[in-house]
Amino acid sequence: MGYAVKKRNRWYAVVYEGLDPLTGRDRRRWHPAVDEADARRVAASLRPPARSAAHGMTLARFMRERWLPGREGRLRPTTAFRYWGMTERYILPRLGRVPVRRLTVTHLIDLYAALRRDGRQDGAPLAPKTVLNVHQILRTALGDAERQGLVARNVAALMDPPCHGLAPEQRCWNLTELQGFLAVAMTHRLGPALWLAAMTGMRRGEVVGLHWDDVDFAAARLSVQRSVTCTGYAVHVTRAKTWTSRRPIDLDARTLEVLADWRAAQREELGGHQSVEVFTTVTGVRIHPHLMSQAFDRLQVKAAVPRIRLHDVRHTHATLLLKAGVALKVVSERLGHSSPAFTMAVYQHVLPGMQREAAETFARLITGDAAASQASDVVPVDSR
């Protein structure tokens, strides 16, 4: 806007020109005038067009009315639900009233520091990885705001992402604890679902989303094709997220027996009818993922094993395989990871012990009995 102002006995027409793209501060241009009337005339002639409705838009209004609704159609339901939840829980209570065009790097630094200090609802520190996720949401949102002309620049892109620290240590059971849990779990109606999760490393949503057509008893293999996810309590069935998630998994003989027995019991429950889904309620409705988690929580208490999450059964499967010497690539394929490198990064806590075993094994090959036992296997080289 333009207006007239007198300073040191001289009149000026002052025109607001928006935010400075480097400092983020308001930028005004001063035009000397002969007198007050001339200053008003110059200000009127230089006045920019009327401001848009978005000129004073707060971050809360931008996120709730523009960005999040616009993103919903491009995101998986679970991702959109997580964005809404993190925005309402962590971002808007502290920054919601700040005009989006006045947001600065300092605002974000203070936000991340506060979240790391007492960001959880119970006043405990927020996990570093969650703080990083908050930053990623803001960076994407403000990038869209910049493209829409609502801000001069994306302040979240001007700063280093908050450090997410070390990955939390994976909690898992040892072999004895897993065996004890499975013995108890198989007394429960959903025992076969928990058995399958433990014996394959499948995710909860993949187990719940399994169809009988996905199980090939003759080939002793199943195929992961879809996953069941939750937004709150609402259920969504989606195709497995990536091509590596859509994978075959070989099954052992005992697991095939468990599935066959469960299929017979399920058919009897349903009066001879065969359900499409592998794991259903007594009425033939696909089980809710939360129901599987609740059964797991109760059964691990009954089994008197250390408390872990259902997802940690997947970590248990991978850890026991790696400690048994199964190749990293095989474990990676079984879990549906994007690459063996990702598997190595997640389970690097298992590898040091394996390296020590490898060193001792190689030493025995060179200096121990293993060298003598393999002498007969050496094939002479014809030097002719």
Residue 379: pLDDT above 70? no
CA–CA dist 47, 33 (Å, integer) = 15
Do 215 and 153 belong to one domain? no
**Which residue has better confidence, 242 or 72?**
72
Q: What percent of the chain is modeled with pLDDT above 90?
A: 53
Residue 73: pLDDT above 50? yes
Q: Distance of alpha carbon 213 from its chain centroid, rounded?
A: 29
| Range 33-38 average pLDDT | 88
Q: How many domains is the chain built from?
A: 3
Edge-first strand order for the sheet with 221-223 is 215-216, 221-223, 248-250
Domain presence at residue 355? no
Reading the block at residue 361, the tokens are 């094994």
**Which residue has better confidence, 201 or 368?**
201
State the pLDDT at residue 60: 92
Least confident of 92-106, 135-149, 224-238: 224-238
Do 36 and 107 belong to one domain? no
Q: Cα–Cα–Cα angle for 127, 129, 135, nearest 5°?
A: 110
Do 63 and 85 belong to one domain? yes
Q: What percent of the chain is modeled with pLDDT above 70?
A: 86
Q: Please give the single-letter amino acid code of residue 57.
A: M
Domain presence at residue 361? no
Domain extent at residue 13: 2-46
**If you write DSSP's letter for every residue of 124-171 in order, what string do you get?**
PPPPHHHHHHHHHHHHHHHHHHHHTTSSSS-GGGGSPPPP--SPPPPP
Domain presence at residue 325? no
CA–CA dist 280, 210 (Å, integer) = 10
| Helix intervals (H) in 165-203 | 175-185, 191-200
**Whole-number average pLDDT of the chain:** 85
Q: Measured between alpha carbons, how far is residue 322 from residues 318, 331, 349, 352 in Å?
A: 6, 7, 11, 11
Residue 353: pLDDT above 90? no
Do 215 and 278 belong to one domain? yes
State the pLDDT at residue 346: 81
